[in-house]
Amino acid sequence: MRRIATELRPGVLDHLGLVAALEWQANDFQNRTGIRCDVQSNLREVLLDQNLSTTLFRIFQETLTNIIRHAGATQVEVNLRQVDRTVRMEVRDNGRGITRDDINNTTSMGILGMRERATLLGGTFRIGRSHQGKGTAVSVSIPLPAQSQGSDLSYEDTTGRRSRGSSSRIEANPGR
């Protein structure tokens, strides 16, 4: 029961921020599945708006669940970036890739839920194949809330990378 509660909203998300929570989840995922999961981030804000952090964390969890169930992947790359007044998260795997039928499947509650979470915060959600046609790329962009945009916030550099082994990149196809 404690594990379920922790996975829903880990304390690390509240105390150390989104980057640390994603790294924690990636490490747990890697240990449970044997699928390498690398997290990279330039996000400088330690504690983002709670709704934004929770939304990105839950989308990340659902993406990992889909990778386990459907992808047949051996590697996952996560890139979390703040670009201007937007937080962008991209999750790419090297698995079988997603088909248009899978994307358009109205019974797929996972994809629908991720899209709705992003939209509720004024963001966008995209899922498709990578440029090379191998693997799936999930991209989420959510604008920072007004209170997170002010210059009076306290920032701390949390630029980080958690990686095991060498890394190869799979580029997402933004047109899909």
Cα separation, 137 vs 98, whole angstroms: 9
Q: What 8-state DSSP symbol labels residue 172?
A: B
- Asked whether residue 176 is domain-assigned, the answer is no
- Asked whether residue 168 is domain-assigned, the answer is no
- Asked whether residue 150 is domain-assigned, the answer is yes
- Asked whether residue 141 is domain-assigned, the answer is yes
Residue-number span of the structural domain to which 59 is assigned: 2-162
Q: What 8-state DSSP symbol labels residue 105?
A: -
Cα separation, 17 vs 53, whole angstroms: 8
Read off the pLDDT of residues 74-121 as tens digits, 9 standing for 90 and up: 999 999 999 888 999 999 999 999 888 888 887 778 899 999 999 999
Read off the pLDDT of residues 15-64 as tens digits, 9 standing for 90 and up: 888 999 999 999 999 999 999 999 999 987 645 788 899 999 999 999 99
Number of domains in the chain: 1
- pTM to 2 decimals? 0.77
- Asked whether residue 88 is domain-assigned, the answer is yes
We report the CATH number of the domain holding residue 96 as 3.30.565.10
Cα separation, 118 vs 124, whole angstroms: 6
